[in-house]
Amino acid sequence: MAEPLLDVRGVTLQYKTKDHLVTATYRVGFQVFRSDRYVILGPSGCGKSTLLKSVGGYIEPVEGEMRLGGSPIRKPGPDRVMVFQEFDQLLPWKTVRENVTFALTASGRLPRRLAGEKAMHYIQKVNLGKFADSYPHTLSGGMKQRVAIARGMAMEPEILLMDEPFAALDALTRRKMQDELLQLWDDTHFTVLFVTHSIPEAVLVGNRILLLSPHPGQVKAELNSTGKDEPGADGQRLSQRIQRMLFAEEVAEEVAAHA
């Protein structure tokens, strides 16, 4: 088997709120290989976003280690580009084109002129060529997310980290963006680590799904997905299996509580 691109081993993450020390994940481990569309799926409170930020280098694990291409992750860097859920991830004082160019020049990837060309290439890929000189506040939510994706892809990072990138969009746009993401992936087979709390999104977008249970986040299962959600050998669809795994306990607990 090939070497994993991202190797996460026994990672425990904690963060402080005003009056608590919260354990977000407890000894989570997983491996992402090149060209994976790796999805981390779990209910809120399972620490999936914290986990992604930790891969991004923003939060240091209190236990365990994370390696990207063999070297340990210590701080944020342009080899792992984050796409966030929030629309304000674009710099409002830069146009669409400048936002993408800025990423390339600030990180020292490319000199200005080449950066401009590459930026346009990726902006056209997400079908925003006509809006290259628009400021972000004039774009819709879906378009902003497409710019953020173009910016992330233009960086050609080792791994693209997506933190519920479509969660703030309306259902129709969201559905469209998922298809567009898959089309982009068909093009270049980039590696993406994708966090979501939506089972259909995980099944559609991912080829491998990591299920986390909440409080604190722990690995529950790792499943393969074809993206089609067809009934398997046991007659169950993948989404049904996931649903059962995530909610079986809850139901059992509730039954016990009411008994």
Partner 1 sequence: MPDSTVQVQRPEFVAESQSKLFGVVEKPLTVGERLYGNSAVRKGALLLLLALGWELYARKVDNPLVFPTFTATVEAFVGAITSGVIPQRTWASIKVLLQGYSVGLVLAALLTAFATASRLGTDLLETLTAMFNPLPSIALLPLAVLWFGLGNNSLIFVLIHAVLWSVALNTHAGFRSVSQTLRMVGRNYGLSGPRYVTQILIPAAFPNILTGLKIGWAFAWRTLIAAELVFGVSQGSGGLGWYVFENKNLLEIANVFAGLFTVILIGLVVENLIFRTIEQRTIRRWGMQH
* Site residues (vs partner 1, CB under 8 A): 53, 56, 58, 75-78, 80-82, 84, 86, 88-89, 91-93, 102-103, 106-108, 135-138, 155
Question: Which residue lies nearer to partner 1 by CB, 105 or 213?
Answer: 105
In whole angstroms, how close is the CB of 159 to partner 1 at the nearest point? 12
**Quick one: how far is CA 96 from the chain centroid?**
22
- Report the run of H or E that residue 5 belongs to, with start and end: none
CA angle 155, 67, 64 (to 5 degrees): 135
Question: Which residue lies nearer to partner 1 by CB, 158 or 199?
Answer: 158
Question: Which residue lies nearer to partner 1 by CB, 93 or 247?
Answer: 93
Question: Which residue lies nearer to partner 1 by CB, 107 or 240?
Answer: 107
In whole angstroms, how close is the CB of 193 to partner 1 at the nearest point? 14
Question: Which residue lies nearer to partner 1 by CB, 79 or 229?
Answer: 79
Backbone angles phi, psi at 14, to 5 degrees: -135, 145
- Distance (Å, rounded) from C-alpha 27 to C-alpha 13? 8
In whole angstroms, how close is the CB of 228 to partner 1 at the nearest point? 30
Question: Which residue lies nearer to partner 1 by CB, 135 or 245?
Answer: 135
In whole angstroms, how close is the CB of 106 to partner 1 at the nearest point? 4
Question: Which residue lies nearer to partner 1 by CB, 82 or 128?
Answer: 82
CA angle 171, 185, 180 (to 5 degrees): 30
In whole angstroms, how close is the CB of 12 to partner 1 at the nearest point? 22
In whole angstroms, how close is the CB of 79 to partner 1 at the nearest point? 10
DSSP 72-140: EP-S--TTEEEE-SSGGGS-TTS-HHHHHHHHHHHTTSS-HHHHHHHHHHHHHHTT-GGGTTS-GGGS-
In whole angstroms, how close is the CB of 165 to partner 1 at the nearest point? 12
CB 41 within 8 Å of CB 242: yes
- Distance (Å, rounded) from C-alpha 187 to C-alpha 131? 22
Backbone angles phi, psi at 182, to 5 degrees: -65, -40
- Report the run of H or E that residue 152 belongs to, with start and end: helix 141-154
